[in-house]
Amino acid sequence: MISKKLVDAINAQIQAEFYSAYLYLSMSADCEGKNLKGFATWLKVQYQEETGHAMKFMAYLQERGGAVELRTIDAPPACFKSPLEIFEQVLAHEKHVTALINSLYEQAADAKDYAMQIFLQWFISEQIEEEASASAILEKIKMLGDKGSAVMYLDKELGKRGE
């Protein structure tokens, strides 16, 4: 059986993952409204991934005999100035999620919960990928700019995600 402290920590992570999904869905809607369909597609796929992460945590918690407690999700920002601002926020948010996952791992290690440590390995690897992806897009935006033909090029490229 999983400890109450770890149940609480996982429920907090579920909340964080659903907030991440909500944030990316809001960013997607903003891009859609600005006719940046490729950016919107990339962010919508990200929304789906984050929802999947929350579901993995829920399933794990239930497998371990813990009770899932769905918590209130704060409203994310609704408007963004530019693709540059969006991807600066995406990278910052992914770094925040990485810190949350690392904290969960530390709690599992302190509790000598080896099963949870093994479970969290996937998320640790996933966060490396998430940060690298966001960073690469951000660097392209900085290099090419987020106006005119450069943004249209990036929009087309990002629209290929999930094909």
pLDDT at 149 over 90: no
Q: What angle do CA 32, 36, 40 make, to 5 degrees?
A: 55
CATH number for the domain whose boundaries are 4-158: 1.20.1260.10
The amino acid occupying position 92 is: A
Question: How do residues 13-66 score in pLDDT, each as one tens digit?
Answer: 999 999 999 999 999 999 999 999 999 999 999 999 999 999 999 999 999 999
Band the pLDDT of 127: cuts 50, 70, 90. Answer: very high
**What is the chain's mean pLDDT, rounded?**
96
- pLDDT at position 1 over 90: no
- CA-CA distance, 39 to 41, in Å (whole number)? 5
The residues spanned by each domain of the chain are 4-158
pTM, 2 dp: 0.95
Residue type, 51: T
pLDDT of residue 103: 98
- Work out the average pLDDT over 94-117: 98
- The Cα-based distances of 36 to 21, 32, 74, 158 in angstroms read 19, 5, 25, 10
